[in-house]
Every structure is written in structure tokens, then in C-alpha cells.
Amino acid sequence: MNNTTEIFVNGLWRDNPVFRQILGLCITLAITNRVVNGVTMGVAVFFVLVASSFIVSVIGEYVPRRVRIPVYMLIIATFVTLVYMFLRAYFTGLSQALGAYVGLIITNCIILGRLESFSSENGPWESVVDAAGISAGFAAALIAMSVVRELLGFGTLFGINVLGSGWTPWVSMILAPGGFLVLGLLVWIERSISPVEEG
């Protein structure tokens, strides 16, 4: 396994932001009741993280240590606002469904954490690969959760009825408590497959 693949797989599985690092839960719990939301949010975070990682890895060495956080925040906020306006202009329905949570990507610690811990110390190529891996991992987690929740909560996938019209919706799956349950169960399953090495 070469370095690039390793960085990517690391972000996707071993350091999966949701299942391993338990980060970005606000968004994860709030929007994963439909797969469309999960996919959109995944793409949005992918764009923001990759773009800001790239920029930070390029300009990182010129930014004084003491102002790096405000600078990172500015960069992230710029991209998030871009995404927000883009969604509102061209995907009105989706932007309504995601509500304030697109804006909240700014405060998502997955992104700031990655910029701080990886991009600021690595070259542009590695940073982009890492960002892609992490956000792919995030998107995968969102999709996994939203598939479960939409399937049980609405009986549909991408809005298409797959479980038949007689399906009794599981209301709790649509609500935040169901999000917690599904998250907990998925974390449990993920850790049973590859146990966390302590120490």
C-alpha cells in the first residue's frame, strides 16, 4: 500500500471522523433522516474540506502561528458560504431540508481539526488526499446512518418507496433519539469489526 492510498484509507476507515473520532455529531444526528440529505451534506463537506485543506497547505507556512485559527476560520467560512448560496440558488428544496446545518459546517470540528493537525504540516497533495479520505469517511458514515433511518423511518430510499405502502413508519428513527440509537449501534458494529487498539 503506497502512501497516498494509506492516507486515504486512514481517513475513510481507521480514523473515520464519525465512528472513530466521534466528531461532527450535531450535523450527523440532525440531517441523516433522509439519504438525500446525507449525500448532499457529504458532498458539501467534501468540497469545503478539500478546498480549504488545499489552500491551507499552500499558504500554511506564511500564516503566523498566533492568527492561524482566525485565518482557517475565514477560509472555511468562505467556502461554506459559497456552498450555502449555491444550494439556495439551485437546490431550494434541499437547502430548506438542511436548514441551518450547512452554515454549521463552519464550526464542524472535523474540518478545523484536519486543517490544524494535517494540512498545516503537509504538502498540498497529501492534504487533498487526506481531506478527501476524511470527508469520504464522513459521507460514508452519513449515508450509512441515513440509509438505516430513512428505510425504517419512512420506508423509502432517496424518496422512493422500497418497503411497500403497508410499512408502518418508525417515527423515532426520524427524530434525534433514533439518530443516537443508530449512531451507537453503528459505532458498536464498526468497533466489533476492527477493535480499537488502546495505548
Contact positions vs other proteins (CB under 8 A): 33, 62-64, 66-67, 70-71, 74-75, 77-78, 81-82, 85-86, 88-90, 92, 153-154, 168-175, 177-178, 181, 184, 188, 198-199
Q: How many C-beta neighbours within 10 Å does residue 10 have? A: 16
User: Among residues 89 and 193, whose Cβ is nearest to other proteins?
Assistant: 89
Euclidean distance between CA atoms 183 and 30, whole angstroms: 12
Q: Closer CB to other proteins, residue 123 or residue 177?
A: 177
- To the nearest whole angstrom, how small is the minimum distance from the Cβ of residue 133 to other proteins? 26
Q: Which is nearer to other proteins, 5 or 92 (CB)?
A: 92
Q: 156 vs 36, 61, 98, 169, CA distance in Å?
A: 11, 48, 18, 10
| Of 59, 49, 48, the residue nearest 123 (C-alpha) | 59
* CB of 2 vs other proteins, minimal distance in Å: 31
- In this structure, what are the phi and psi dihedrals at residue 56, rounded to the nearest 5 degrees? -65, -40
Identify which of residues 1 and 66 has a Cβ nearer to other proteins in the complex.
66
